Amino acid sequence: MVKVIAFNGSPRKDGNTSILIGHMFEELENEGIETELIQVGGKNVRGCTACMECFENKDGHCILDDDIVNHCIDAMVEADGVILGSPVYFLDVTAEMKGLIERAGFVSMANGGGLYRRKVGTAVTAVRRAGGVRTLDSMLHFLLATGMIVPGFPVLGVGREIGDVNKDEEGLARARDAGKNMAWLLKMMEKAKGSQHL
Ligand SMILES: Cc1cc2nc3c(=O)[nH]c(=O)nc-3n(C[C@H](O)[C@H](O)[C@H](O)COP(=O)(O)O)c2cc1C
């Protein structure tokens, strides 16, 4: 079964980022795609320590095995689609999302650069006022640098308190649209895999 994994970088596990991911999931599930959410925000996620052990070991994992990053890497490798979600924290992604990006990205490079290649990837952010596009860029750069395929513009929802994004009709429409785009591309790719021409 085709599967999409999402990572919520917000420490508020049922907050605005999670609500937006939920709308994306509904559209994916409507198309028969399996979804799973991994909570990253609020967990103890360390940044890369530049030990370079991943380039020595080449085992698809980070040497730091005391947090959830290796579990996240395995889940991304196994999935067909990836959603990175983070609220804007001081004009960029949260520290937990940055830690995931650094280490999952470096582990991919250390293992030939292709761990997540040709997966369908997109990003989602919740913003009160400033820094939304930059936050999306930080996540998009990870998706593009690791060889994922991004179907259209990612998702930005506006809100401060938990649930505020429900009042941002355009943001919710964006989330729905991104979910549909992702489902469309995943299904096309699935069909193409079954074709004798590929
Ligand atoms: C530490 C911190 C920093 C924040 N920095 C910004 C910011 O730079 N720009 C902004 O528009 N909102 C900022 N916010 C507001 C959040 O992005 C906003 O409340 C968002 O909806 C939270 O999403 P969540 O419910 O998924 O956590 C910040 C919030 C916190 C707690």
In this predicted model, what pLDDT tens digit does every residue of 39-62 receive, in sequence order?
999 999 999 999 999 999 999 999
Q: How confident is the model at residue 175 (pLDDT cuts 50, 70, 90)?
A: very high
How many domains in the chain? 1
Check residue 59 and report its DSSP letter: S
Distance CA 128, CA 56 (A): 42
Ligand 1 atom with the smallest distance to the CA of 162 is 25
Instruction: Tell me which of 17, 40, 83, 88 to substitute to probe ligand 1's pocket, judged by most ligand atoms within 8 Å of the beta carbon.
Output: 88
Pocket of ligand 1 (CB under 6 A): 10, 12, 15-17, 87-91, 126-131, 159-160, 162
Instruction: Give the residue numbers spanning the domain of 152.
Output: 3-194
Q: From ligand 1's centre to the CA of 91, what distance in Å? A: 8
Q: How far, in Å, from the CA of 126 to the mean position of ligand 1? A: 7
CATH of the domain at 116: 3.40.50.360
Mean pLDDT of the chain: 97
**Which residues have a Cβ under 8 Å from the Cβ of 170 and sit 6 or more positions away?**
none
> Which residue, among 58, 53, 190, 51, has the nearest Cα to 113 in the 3D structure?
58
Which atom of ligand 1 has the smallest separation from the CA of 129?
11
pLDDT of residue 82: 98
Q: In whole angstroms, give the CA distance from residue 175 to residue 88.
A: 16
Q: What is the per-residue pLDDT for 194?
A: 82
